[in-house]
Chain A
Amino acid sequence: MKEGVPVTFRTEVPARESSSPREERIRVEVKGLQAWYGSSRALHGIDLAIPDQAITAIIGPSGCGKSTFIRCLNRMHEEIPAARVEGHVLLDGVDIYQPGVDPVAVRRTVGMVFQRPTPFPTMSIFDNVAAGLRLAGIRSRRTLEEKVERSLQQSALWDEVKDRLRSPATALSGGQQQRLVIARALAVDPEVLLLDEPTSALDPAASSRIEDLLVQLKEKYTIVIVTHNMQQAARIADRTAFFLNGELIEYDLSARLFTQPSDPRTEAYITGRFG
């Protein structure tokens, strides 16, 4: 895809698999996004419209810029020394890169979950989920308890941990820790959830619980997931974007991209002929 050409959804796509034919609302609009590490450019002008209440998957070979891309969606990329961003990321129409926008506030609205579960090791399960809330200044015991329970319910972990909320988070299994981290991200009421290969360190059963969880969560959130696992993208993502060498090659409904990709490079990648 050439720089500066906006990605538009095709109109002749097959019927949506979702049962509710709701009006699609664009939540995050990326325009001409370029990302740099020093003098090396990792993203070459990405245009991508991410719909609300849907899962959007980013796939592509290692080094294609997919992790860099989602790190630009909550201003985490610029935390790396000498890294910088050009272009626009509009969240509900407001550019998160415009002057005066607080990156910390952006990260509260756009939560992120990483490949390895990252619970705070010295904290209990409860305190892990409450951490972001406390950071936001919430002190009320009752509010904290309510929000922690709700977040753990949402991340499908509540039943497994409700009797041991004071136990250290590190006592949980890898899959549970990852759901805990998702609960922590949800606790601060984000609108967008970014996940960077959230199941690559998990076994198939734990991965499949996370996948189910994401499908439930998309009813309320905008979800963007970077994954190396194409089957995972095919299973859970409404739309999939294929990145290669810092460029967006193809973006379409997953049902179409995985059966009839329109670009030969997408075809070659998803059929395992390179990458």
Chain B
Amino acid sequence: MARISFQQELEKLQKEVLHMGEAVDRAIATAMESLAQRDLQLAETVIQGDQVIDDLELAIEQECLKLLALQQPMAVDLRTIGTMLKIVTDLERMGDHATDIARAVRRMGQTPPIKPLVDIPRMAEMGRHMLQQGLQAFMERDIQRAMAMAREDDQLDHLFKQVFRELLLLMIANPAVIEEATQLILVAASLERVGDHATNLAEWTIYMVTGERRDLNL
């Protein structure tokens, strides 16, 4: 029988989640671009654009609750909606981290950089890659991809520790850079958190497919 319209609504909603995830990915990329170029205007667009992501989260949440109330889904359908309700929160937080990066750029202003940025952009690439893989795993219900993605988080954590140590040494050597180095630590910490939220995406995708909750953030 039927429930065709329900399945269609569910698919539409999954695409909305993808759409939101892509907006978050763009926000992180733009924030990093504003950091690289010290482009305050670009940073502002990230901060302003966060509202769009927040609105998407609310809209998806509302739609999920509506489907729960009206369709009383069971089994995989129930798990899919539960997963969407959880991961939109992670996506929204990732969006906030993009904003945090943009705010750090704003605070640093247009002072010349204390060092060429190498590892922080690498962290951003890794975080974005995890997010993209997470979204793809969610859309394709691909638990192998989800698990492979979650394993990347170790490298991201490792890189964060390295960046942190490096900036700490710079501050010890030259207290004049403390202010900017602190901002860069905040940026790196935000990117490290992006990886953690992406790992949650993987965990929820595995739950959606198998019904088992697994902690991948070890």
A interface with B by C-beta (< 8 Å): 230-231, 234, 258-261, 266-267, 270-275
Contact = CB atoms under 8 A, between A and B. Distances in A.
Interface string B66-104: 000000111111110000000000000000000000000
Contact of B211 (A231, A260, A266, A271): A260
Given A271-B3, A272-B1, A274-B1, A258 B76 contact: no
Contacts of B75: 258-261, 266-267, 270-271
A165 to B, nearest CB: 39
A273 B3 contact: yes
Q: Chain A at the B interface: mostly helix, strand, loop or mixed? A: loop
Interface in B1-58: 1-3, 6
B74 A258 contact: yes
A272 B74 CA distance: 9
B170 to A, nearest CB: 50
A272 B76 contact: no
Contacts of B210: 260
Given A230-B74, A260-B75, A275 B211 contact: no
Contacts of B78: 258-259
Contacts of A270: 74-75
Given A271-B77, A274-B1, A275-B1, A259 B211 contact: yes
Contacts of A271: 3, 73-77
Nearest to B2: A272
A275 B1 CA distance: 7
Contacts of B2: 272
B70 to A, nearest CB: 12
A260 B80 CA distance: 12
A264 to B, nearest CB: 10
A205 B120 CA distance: 60
